[in-house]
Structure 1
Amino acid sequence: MMTEAKRIVVPEPLARLGEAFARRGHELYLVGGYVRDLLLAGESKKDVDATTGARPQEIKGVLRPLAEHLWTMGERFGTIGAKVGTYDVEVTTYRSDLYTEGSRHPEVTFGESLMDDLARRDFTINAISAGAGTGEIHDPFGGRKDLSLGVIRAVGEPLDRMRDDPLRMLRAVRFETTLTTQERPFAITSELEAAIRENAHWLESISAERIREEFEKILVSDNVAMGLRALVRLGLMPYIVPEFMETLAVEQDTEFHHKDVFEHTLIVTQNVEADPILRKAAFFHDIGKPRTLVYEHRCTYCGHKSTQKTPGMGECERCGGRTLPKKIHFYGHENVGAHIAKKAMKRLAYPRDDADAVAHLVSNHMRPMGYAVGRDPWSDSAVRRFVRDTYLERGGRVLADVDMLLKLARADITGSAPRRRQVAVASWESLKARVDEVRAEDAIEKLESPLDGNQLMKLFGRGPGRWIKPIKDYLENEVVEGRLGKDDTEKAAELATAYAREHGIFEEG
């Protein structure tokens, strides 16, 4: 850790940039994540933020001779981007931003000094700068000390910094989550936590796209469970996915789960692969449980079974005797969860394909359980149907498939009761082996009717029409079931003819 360093080694392309600004009479300082990560881990990414007293027009004049290309989307906010060597550099004029209540767009005011610029930044660990030409570090707010201590502290008064840009409340959680390692935990100061809790509602003024970007970074981090817990603890989750708050303290059947729905979800999300779609599928996979919760009651006198929404004693609808809850059920929670996922992701402005992929995985996440409770291994045709039903493709792009579903199912097992876990793992391994075995014979997802539309039109001597689809679907199903070879056009023609006759497809009226 280089938190005591007085200067950093500036790579040649960035040093050259600093010299170019100096020749025009302007300072250039490297700031933010580039300097923070370099001090923290001795290395940094190729994305570089820099700040200067030069105005945007002047910045473009300095960058053009040195950059491969420029991008100016953020020019009205004082930011000009450039590709300099292997670095993506964004140079921003000294500034201060202010979000007014009810507005989603900041008021940008250009500043005159580095000190003014650093003073408006969010956290001390991000308010460290280094001269682009000299590498000399400027740390007026003690950011290096906070880095060494693992502290997320606001620059100045926490309430003022959060008011400047309410998204910083989410950024605090993101930095706590992403910077924490086993050797070096990070934590938000109590003062900053208090400011976030009291003003979490300010997130309502932030655009869905900006919220989504921070939420996504938390979801794919190594400490996602820690991040999700913090979002709930600080009162931020109601402004991201409010439905998730319903999972808190929702009990589950102890035969299968040893944690409530909230804790179970954290375990599964933490243990699934850090793929954006899989992490969101894990986050949403049981979100439908609170709305589908019912208690199975049994009468202590006549033994009649019934269901009700409350866990307490009830009255038997058959004999009037006392009933007691015996089991907990969440009938259809996967379908309710898929609906919630699509709705929530639409609110957060996720692409439609992403929302559909997540909803597809959520709606199918109980399918592997069907294998677990079965007495015998699935037949080849059952495995083929499973693989095809869990496959989702659009525009030639695979959105979800059986491999992703099996990864989600394996993570789901990590949140099950310890006494059930070993049996569940064995069942999962058996199903995975059957899927691999059947897929080795054919590309199941690509199985189609041996006869395409043109061949069917030629066979029946008819033009295009709605009549083609049911016949193709029938032939495709016969291939999946293993009753028709994927290249057996002769038998396919016989089956198609018989199917059309049996179902009266060409009958008049």
Structure 2
Amino acid sequence: MTETKSIEVPEPLTRLGERFEEAGRELYLVGGFVRDALSGSIGKDVDATTGSHPKEIKRLLGPVADHLWTVGERFGTIGARVGPYDVEVTTYRTDLYTQGSRHPEVRFGTDLVEDLARRDFTINAVAASAENGEIRDPFDGRKDLEFGVIRPVGDPLDRMRDDPLRMLRAVRFETTLSTSEKPFAMTPQLEAAIKENAHWLESISAERIRDEFEKILLSENVAKGLRTLVRLGLMPYIVPEFMETLNVEQEAEFHHKDVFEHTLIVTQNVEKDPILRKAAFFHDIGKPRTLVYEHRCTYCGAKSIQKNTEEGECEHCGGRTLPKKIHFYGHENVGATMARKSMKRLAYPKDDIDAVAHLVANHMRPMGYAVGRDPWSDSAIRRFIRDTHLSRGDRELANVDMLLKLAQADITGGAPRRRRIAEESWRSLKSRVDAVRAEDSVEKLESPLDGNDLMQLFGRGPGRWIKHVKDYLENETVEGRLGEDDTEKARELAVAYAREHDPFEEG
């Protein structure tokens, strides 16, 4: 790779290079497109740089672009759709983040090498002529790419100070570029600079932090990425609550790892879906705040709940009490609340927040099936399917399939001797869910009577009473005791329900 003199440039980009060359300007492909091309793959997102200023870039791009966008013009960037490629052309520049600022001070430059010198890492500071693919590599990025080294261009402190988000980008590249055949690693100097200055992330907007964090969560090596974020002191500036999971022991019968290690396993093993990965990351985040110890009296055997492991005195007989079990009562609900707060702070969309919180809040439901003394009835399975479904309008946000995938990943983080039993229970639950759904689309079942029908039936206007009656009828439908189209029986049930519960008192 270090001997590679050029890359193959796709024809639409070659035409773009020729267009700039005819105008007496150079155009170089840079960043991830060149990095990936050197590794043997060609992407569709292209970054390029030139000595032209935005006004001239627009003039040169216009005739060959299918579409132009100028949202980044004040930073020197013009975007264009050229054939199948999304191209962003940026004027040579230098960026500087001043302390306390969330936006860079942009200065245009005149030289390619000067532009490459302000980039984050050597593997991203390799340029290729858009016209002929000839490589320019003043900082030996090809060598670092070949040997799996994440090395800053120049002094690590200067590069991180220029844009502190680069500390997260370093973790992201180490995480996403690593393979079992060729792992990537940061230089010791870069790691030291990040550890000492992780607090610089406070100057970066939540949206930019979120986007980098999301890329780490969706990588093949997510456990490695999360571990590195914690080790380098970056996690406190992303999801500080996650730090509470470190060294929190769990009941050995069910878990052979602490909460932190268990979470890494589950997040790594769940399907690579944006909602599922976040649900796995947050699923046990409420455990540290709900941790209690079940104590037992060594004399009379009485049980008590304590917040610590210290020996105590039995309130029944005065005997000595010792901790015997660990519990996290209600951690799923506490965790759902924490997930909402964290995701809102990171400016995630409301639908994503609701979906993740919903999955976290319900992630213990499959455990109820596994440990229940009596097998679930078909009605219980129907309620389970219905309760785990979440939608907004016509958009489905979460469903029982997603919850079962999360539960399956959760099992992989359990104690090995309990894992086989849990897997058998999961397969049984999945089979019963599939059987019930084959008969009905349980998630879509509704009351045979809508609000207008109920107002006409009872001769009353709108009010909260409608919801009470509709919920009752809907539940009867889900339970299979009322047909979805059986309006006659629905009227009888509604009248009987109103006679017994008098929902009209609430308006």
Structure 1 and Structure 2 fold alike (TM over 0.5) = yes
Q: Which runs of 5+ in 1 are unaligned?
A: none
Matches within 5 A, 1:252-401: 252-401=250-399
C-alpha deviation, 1:465, in angstroms: 4.0
**2:24 is the alignment partner of 1:47:** no
- Please say which of residues 484-493 and 177-186 is displaced more in the overlay: 484-493
C-alpha deviation, 1:3, in angstroms: 4.5
C-alpha deviation, 1:463, in angstroms: 4.3
CA deviations over 1:36-84 (Å, ceiling 9, x no partner) = 00101x1121000000000010100100011011000100100000001
Letter in 2 for 1:276: P
Task: Report the equivalent of 1:174.
Answer: 172
Equivalent-residue separation in structure 1 for 2:232 and 2:469 (angstroms): 57
Task: Report the equivalent of 1:190.
Answer: 188
Letter in 1 for 2:301: G
Task: Report the equivalent of 1:29.
Answer: 28
- Please say which of residues 445-454 and 466-475 is displaced more in the overlay: 466-475
Matches within 5 A, 1:401-440: 401-440=399-438
CA deviations over 1:261-303 (Å, ceiling 9, x no partner) = 0000000000000100000000000000000101111111222
C-alpha deviation, 1:403, in angstroms: 0.6
Aligned residues: 507
C-alpha deviation, 1:468, in angstroms: 2.6
Task: Report the equivalent of 1:161.
Answer: 159
CA deviations over 1:474-500 (Å, ceiling 9, x no partner) = 111111222212222221121122222
Equivalent-residue separation in structure 2 for 1:460 and 1:294 (angstroms): 51
Letter in 2 for 1:16: R
| C-alpha contact 1:3 1:39 (8 A) present in aligned 2 | no
SS at 2:106's partner residue?
A: strand
Q: Which runs of 5+ in 2 are unaligned?
A: none
Equivalent-residue separation in structure 1 for 2:244 and 2:502 (angstroms): 52
The structure-2 alpha-carbon separation of the partners of 1:508 and 1:218, relative to structure 1 and needing over 3 Å to count, comes to: closer
CA deviations over 1:281-334 (Å, ceiling 9, x no partner) = 000000000001011111112222112122232232333322211000001100
Equivalent-residue separation in structure 1 for 2:180 and 2:409 (angstroms): 22
SS at 1:496's partner residue?
A: helix
Letter in 1 for 2:347: A
Task: Report the equivalent of 2:89.
Answer: 91
The structure-2 alpha-carbon separation of the partners of 1:377 and 1:207, relative to structure 1 and needing over 3 Å to count, comes to: same
Letter in 1 for 2:127: S
SS at 2:321's partner residue?
A: strand
**2:476 is the alignment partner of 1:478:** yes
| C-alpha contact 2:333 2:361 (8 A) present in aligned 1 | yes
Equivalent-residue separation in structure 2 for 1:435 and 1:297 (angstroms): 38
Letter in 2 for 1:438: V
Letter in 1 for 2:19: A
Letter in 1 for 2:251: D
**2:10 is the alignment partner of 1:6:** no
Letter in 1 for 2:182: R
TM-score w.r.t. the length of structure 2 is: 0.98
Letter in 2 for 1:43: S
Cα root mean square deviation, aligned: 1.4
Task: Report the equivalent of 1:149.
Answer: 147
C-alpha deviation, 1:425, in angstroms: 0.3
- Please say which of residues 370-379 and 106-115 is displaced more in the overlay: 370-379
Letter in 2 for 1:363: A
The structure-2 alpha-carbon separation of the partners of 1:327 and 1:60, relative to structure 1 and needing over 3 Å to count, comes to: same
Equivalent-residue separation in structure 1 for 2:248 and 2:142 (angstroms): 42
Which of 78, 81, 84 aligns to 2:79? It is 81
Equivalent-residue separation in structure 2 for 1:507 and 1:52 (angstroms): 72
**2:137 is the alignment partner of 1:139:** yes
Letter in 1 for 2:390: L
Equivalent-residue separation in structure 2 for 1:159 and 1:319 (angstroms): 64
